[in-house]
Amino acid sequence: MNSQKTTAKSVFSKIKDSDILFLVIALIVLCVIMSLTSQVFLSERNIMNMLRQVSLTAVCGFGLTMVILLGEIDLSVGSQQAIAGLCSVVTLNATGSIALAVLAALAAGAGVGALNGFLVAKGKMNSLIVTLGTMTIWRGVAMVTTDAVSIQAAYPDFQTLGTGYVGPIPNGVIIMAILFVAIWYILRHTTFGRYIYAIGGNQEASKLAGLPVDRMRITVYIISGVLTMLAGVLLASRMSSAQPSAGDGFEMTVIAAIILGGVSLNGGIGGIGGAFIGMLILGVLENGLTLLDVSSFWQNIARGIVIILAVYLDEVRKARLAKKIVQEQKDHLKKEGIAA
Partner 1 sequence: MKNTPVIEIADMHMIFPGVHALKGVSFDLYAGEVHALVGENGAGKSTLIKILSGVYQRSRGKYLINGKEAKICHPLDAIKEGISVIYQELNLVSSLSAAENIFFGRLPAKGGRVQWKKLYDESRKYMEMVGLSISPRTKVQYLSIAEQQLVEIAKSLSLGAKIIIMDEPTSALSPKEVESLFKIIAQLKEKGVSIIYISHKLDEIFEIADRITVFKDGAVVGTKYPEELNEEQLIEMMVGRKMEDIFPDRNANLGEVLLDVKGLTTEKVTDISFHVRRGEIVGFSGLMGAGRTEMTMALLGMDKRLEGSVVLDGKEIPPNSPLIARESGMGLVVEDRRKGGILPNMSVKSNMTIVSLNQVTKGISISRTGEEDVVRDMIQRLKIKTPTMNQLIPKLSGGNQQKVLLARWLMKRNLKVLVIDEPTRGIDVGAKAEIYSLMNDLAGQGLAIIMVSSELPEILGMCDRVYVMKSGKITGEFNREEASEAALLEKAIH
Stretch that binds partner 1, among 90-98, 100-108, 195-203, 223-231 (CB under 8 A): 195-203
What single DSSP character describes residue 242? E
- Under the binding rule (CB under 8 A), the answer on residue 327 touching partner 1 is no
Category of 270 on φ-ψ map: left (φ > 0), alpha (ψ -120 to 50) or beta: left
User: Residue from 8, 16, 156, 204 that binds partner 1 (CB under 8 A)?
Assistant: 204
Return the sign of the alpha-carbon dihedral for residues 156, 105, 139, 75.
positive
- Under the binding rule (CB under 8 A), the answer on residue 220 touching partner 1 is no
Stretch that binds partner 1, among 48-56, 200-208, 246-254, 295-303 (CB under 8 A): 200-208
78/273 with CB nearer partner 1? 273
- Under the binding rule (CB under 8 A), the answer on residue 336 touching partner 1 is yes
Buried b (16+ CB within 10 A) or exposed e, 283-300: bbbbbbbbbeeeeeeebe
- Under the binding rule (CB under 8 A), the answer on residue 65 touching partner 1 is no
User: Residue from 212, 304, 312, 319 that binds partner 1 (CB under 8 A)?
Assistant: 212
- Under the binding rule (CB under 8 A), the answer on residue 335 touching partner 1 is no
Q: How far apart are CA 282 and CA 275, in angstroms?
A: 11
- Under the binding rule (CB under 8 A), the answer on residue 201 touching partner 1 is yes
- Under the binding rule (CB under 8 A), the answer on residue 11 touching partner 1 is no
User: Residue from 82, 83, 84, 198 that binds partner 1 (CB under 8 A)?
Assistant: 198
DSSP string, 146-185: HTT--EE-S-TTHHHHHH-EETTEEHHHHHHHHHHHHHHH
User: Residue from 39, 152, 189, 324 that binds partner 1 (CB under 8 A)?
Assistant: 189
User: Residue from 194, 290, 291, 314 that binds partner 1 (CB under 8 A)?
Assistant: 194
Return the sign of the alpha-carbon dihedral for residues 107, 112, 115, 116.
negative
- Under the binding rule (CB under 8 A), the answer on residue 185 touching partner 1 is yes
Angle made by CA atoms 191, 194, 200, in degrees to the nearest 5? 140
17/157 with CB nearer partner 1? 17
Q: Is 241 helix (H, G, I), strand (E, B) or coil?
A: strand
Q: How far apart are CA 207 and CA 211, in angstroms?
A: 6
Minimum distance from residue 281 beta carbon to partner 1 (Å): 24
Helix (H) or strand (E) holding 86: helix 77-95
42/321 with CB nearer partner 1? 321
Contact assessment for residue 238 and residue 49, using Cβ atoms and an 8 Å cutoff: no
User: Residue from 7, 167, 329, 335 that binds partner 1 (CB under 8 A)?
Assistant: 329
Minimum distance from residue 279 beta carbon to partner 1 (Å): 22
Radius of gyration of the chain (CA): 22
Using CB under 8 A as the criterion, which residues of the chain lie in contact with partner 1 when the complex forms? 1-3, 185, 189-191, 194-195, 197-198, 200-202, 204-212, 268-269, 325, 328-330, 332-333, 336, 338-340
